[in-house]
Amino acid sequence: MKKHVINFLSGFEKENIGETFPLGYCLPVYHCVSDESLPHLKNIIPYKNTRQFVQDLDFLARHFQFVNWDEFKEFVNGSFQPQKKIALLTFDDGLREFYDTVMPILERKGIYAINFINPAFIDNTGLMFRCKASLLAEKVKSDKNIHPDLFSILPSKEDPVRQILKTGYLKQSLLNRLAELLEIDFNEFLRKHQPYMTLGQLKGAAQKGFGISSHSWDHPLYHELSVGKQLETTGKTFGYLKQHGFLYESFAFPFTDFGVKKDFFDQMFQNEEVFCTFGCAGIKLDSVERNFQRIPMENGEPAETILKKEMAYFRLKKLLNKNKIERL
């Protein structure tokens, strides 16, 4: 029902989105751009191909002014006056396609982007648990017969692919057991496919002017962690970024900031070096003024459709006084 209402209301959004956009900033977030079928991503992220990504960029450039990190900070502080509403392009997870595919496109177009990374996976020394789940799901889908011992590991007799893809951060040991059963070697996959950027590539991206910042150490779901653990994984990542000369002024929550308490932000911003944090709840305000919500751009739709739906939903929630996240 909600989707039908938003689809209907989005039809009333005007064509000049840059003028009617409800905030002064637009924060799109992507993970990957590729023309290939990537087994570690295809079951978890409907990433765009290069043509679709370029179309998104061209649309955004018509309606917004792309800015770099310093300009974004100046805008927030009130010392930068753009000609149009601004857009800060963001990527998550430090995937290799950012270096191989995205950066050449952005360099040609003169567009800055910041990539929020997990140090645990740099140099392909580890694989994020959701990527493991995607590989396992692909294996199960491709096998003609289900392994007889599969359900001795899974929690129930339900659809095994669905169960695998639902497996969370705190239960990722289950994925390692399944990999052994299904004869999938995650370390061999990392060596062969190199899904993440190396430290050298990250430094190369930074030297070309792109931002490299924090996305936690190994991509947990934050509301599942205690505040102490939240601060620990965040602080550990800041230390790594500072050690290698990357951007340690910002932090983007892995997955979502849903359920993260005010106490985390209060302690986080005691570090005066931290300028802001980012969630990904779409167009939405936040009671924590320096926590900015980004717009997920990988749902199978073009940027124009995504933004119009987000704008319609924002206006609807504004009428209900629910367009602002309140932290307790």
Q: 315-328, pLDDT tens digit by residue?
A: 999 999 999 999 99
- Residues 104, 155, single domain; the answer is no
Q: pLDDT grade, residue 4 (50/70/90)?
A: confident
Residue where a domain terminates, one of 174, 190, 206? 190
Residue where a domain terminates, one of 169, 190, 211? 190
- Residues 13, 161, single domain; the answer is no
Tell me what pLDDT residue 81 has: 93
Cα–Cα nearest to 60, from 34, 36, 30, 85: 85
Tell me what pLDDT residue 3 has: 82
Q: pLDDT grade, residue 227 (50/70/90)?
A: very high
- Residues 254, 118, single domain; the answer is yes
- Residues 19, 6, single domain; the answer is yes
- Residues 312, 203, single domain; the answer is yes
* Residue range(s) defining the domain that contains residue 168: 129-190
- Residues 210, 184, single domain; the answer is no
pLDDT of 183 strictly over 80: yes
CB-count exposure of residue 73 (10 Å: 0-12, 13-18, 19+) = middle
Section 23-48 average pLDDT: 98
In the chain, beta strands by DSSP E: 25-26, 28-30, 65-66, 86-87, 89-92, 113-117, 211-214, 250-252, 276-279, 285-286, 291-293, 295-296, 324-325
- Residues 101, 156, single domain; the answer is no
Tell me what pLDDT residue 187 has: 98
Section 41-69 average pLDDT: 98
Tell me what pLDDT residue 123 has: 98
Q: Is the dihedral of CA 61, 43, 126, 170 positive or negative?
A: positive
CA–CA separation, 71 and 91 (whole Å): 18
Section 99-128 average pLDDT: 98
Section 260-267 average pLDDT: 97
Report the b/e string of 282-301 with b at 16+ CB within 10 A: bbbbbebeebbbbbbbbeeb
CA–CA separation, 280 and 263 (whole Å): 19
Q: pLDDT grade, residue 300 (50/70/90)?
A: very high
Q: pLDDT grade, residue 42 (50/70/90)?
A: very high
- Residues 283, 236, single domain; the answer is yes
CB 136 within 8 A of CB 161: no
- Residues 109, 28, single domain; the answer is yes
CATH number of the domain within which 312 lies: 3.20.20.370
Section 209-233 average pLDDT: 97
- Residues 101, 135, single domain; the answer is no
CB 94 within 8 A of CB 73: no
Q: Is the dihedral of CA 298, 299, 302, 303 positive or negative?
A: negative
pLDDT of 193 strictly over 90: yes
- Residues 146, 265, single domain; the answer is no
Cα–Cα nearest to 87, from 326, 315, 303: 303
CB 134 within 8 A of CB 40: yes
Higher confidence at residue 60 or residue 8?
Answer: 60
Q: pLDDT grade, residue 11 (50/70/90)?
A: confident
CA angle, 225 as apex, 218 and 240 as ends, to 5°? 35
Q: Is the dihedral of CA 86, 327, 5, 91 positive or negative?
A: positive
φ, ψ for residue 289 (rounded to 5)? -60, -30
> What's the total number of domains in the chain?
2
pLDDT of 68 strictly over 80: yes
- Residues 109, 237, single domain; the answer is yes
CA–CA separation, 176 and 265 (whole Å): 33
pLDDT of 2 strictly over 80: no
Tell me what pLDDT residue 10 has: 86
pLDDT of 275 strictly over 80: yes
Average pLDDT of the chain is: 96
Residue where a domain terminates, one of 141, 172, 190? 190
Tell me what pLDDT residue 148 has: 87
Section 274-294 average pLDDT: 97
